[in-house]
Every structure is written in C-alpha cells, then in structure tokens.
Amino acid sequence: MGRIVGSIAAALVAATMAAMCAAEPVRAESSAAIMSQDVPITAADAEKAGTMPAPPPYDPTVVKYVDPEKPTPDPRATLTATPSATPTPPAQVKIDGVRTDRVPTPGQLLFKSTRDITFMDPLSWSVNVFKKRHQLILYYKGRMFKNYHAVFGRSFEPGTKLWEGDRRTPEGVYTIVEKHPSRRWDWFLTLNYPNLLDRRRYWELRDGGAVPNEDGHPLGVGGRIGIHGTDEPLLNRGNINWTTGCISVDDEDVEELKRLLPDGTVVIIKP
C-alpha cells in the first residue's frame, strides 16, 4: 500500500513539473506576441507580459532641471569687461576759402561731394538771420553749412526798419543783388531793401504822418542795406549792435560768404 501511495505522489510531482515546463514557451510566446503588436499597451499588460523596463539607475527626485536655453554657469568663471570700440572721428572737410570745423556739417559734406555747377545756382543756397541770437546761418541745398556770428543796427527799439536813419535792421525776405569790395568793411553784399512790402509799409506810415520830417519833408524809406565786415571787431565779439541797419560779421566771414554766395541768394532776416 505504501508503495502505491509513493508511486502516485511521484507521478503527480512529475506531471506538475512537466506542465510547468510546457507553460514557459507559451508565456514567452505570449510576451513576444504582445511586444510585436502595433497598438499601445498599458503598464499593467506589460507587467503581466514580463516586458517592463529595468528601473533607472538614478533617483529622479534628486535630478535638477537645467534650462536648455541657458548655459549652466561656471562658478570658476570671472566676468571680464569687453573693451568698447573707439568711434572713428569723421574726416575733416577742407573747402577752399572756407574755415571749417573739425566735425564737418551736412552742408559741407554735400558741398564737397558736388561734382556739377549746381553750387553756382543761387537756389542751392539760403541764409537765415536771427537778430536776437546774433546768428547768420548758411544752408546749402537745404542742409546746414555753417553758423556765423553777427551784429545788427544800433537802434534801441525792436522791430523792422521803417524809414531812413532809424538804425534798425530790416526783417523779411530779401536777396543778394550785388557784391563789391569795401575799403572800410572788406566786402559788402547788398540786399534788395526796400522790397515791395517795405515800400507799402513806409507809404502807409508816411501818409499817416508817422514818418519824421527833415527840412520840411518826410524822411525816405532808406536803402543800402547789406551784409559786410567790420572795422570794430571788439564790438562784434561783444555782441554789441553798432551798425546803422546793416548786418556785420567778421572780415574772414564776409570773405567766405562772398566766395560762396552767388547773386540772387535768398536772405531771410528774423527778429
């Protein structure tokens, strides 16, 4: 009886082992089938199939995030100042007969680059005069060429010229009509004062009795107004208005203006 029971037990053990060995290929075949599928599988299915990847060799909780857009700073690096480039100063412009500054103006650069005869056209030049600021500003083709210092008529009353002998410098739009040398003022650039507006203003004042009389007759409208040099350079440098109505600049400046400005150049005189 004991032998029979032992034989039966041995047979059961052998059968169990055979069944387990037979099940391994099936499981392997099932895992391969699952991995070869194109459809995604869940983590549970992968765990059942025995295809879960090995755990990572690091702890994700201690990995520090580094922005890929910014390099990781090196604590050993030291900041060094980058030397700034020294700007190249513009080349000095040399114009015959004209004293130019170290930094050329836009008008001087344009004049220097002119290769035709437009520099002889009076429409290429214009002059703006500011009496209160003691300035005569020259423009070439609409660009500032040079700023000159100037003084004006010695009248203590502001405003434009009204009649002969009032010692005021006129205000308005005029043109250069003549240039001639002067023994006293080096050069004289005559303006077309009085223009039509000046004459009409004078006629109204004369008819209204506002023009002073001399020898029983009203004074005239005046004339011979222009831009000239000086025989009083100290007065010019001191901003002292001393002329009888003209515009006075230094002799070197009036020589430059004489060389540059053709007859017909517009001169705008402002308060």
Rg (CA), the chain: 50
State yes or no: pLDDT of 114 exceeds 60: yes
In tens, the pLDDT along 43-97 reads 556 555 655 555 555 454 554 444 445 555 555 555 555 556 666 666 677 887 7
Quick one: pLDDT band at residue 190, thresholds 50, 70, 90?
very high
- Which pTM value belongs to this model? 0.67
* Preceding peptide of 194 cis, ω within 30°: yes
Looking at residue 27, its pLDDT comes to: 45
Q: For residue 148, how many other CB atoms are within 10 A of its CB? A: 21
CA–CA distances in Å: residue 128 to residues 65, 85, 136: 68, 39, 6
The mean pLDDT of the chain is: 81
Rounded CA-CA distance 18/22 in Å is 6
Instruction: Report DSSP state, residue 78.
Output: -
Whether 202 contacts 218, CB under 8 Å: no
125 pLDDT more than 80? yes
Q: Which position has the higher pLDDT, 229 or 90?
A: 229
List the chain domain ranges: 150-270
In three-state secondary structure terms, 33 is helix
Per-residue pLDDT, averaged over 235-255, amounts to 97
CATH architecture of 150-270: Beta Barrel (2.40)
Q: Measure the CA–CA gap between 70 and 88, rounded to whole angstroms.
A: 35
Tell me what the mean pLDDT of segment 245-271 comes to. 97
Alpha-carbon gap, residue 260 to 256, rounded angstroms: 6
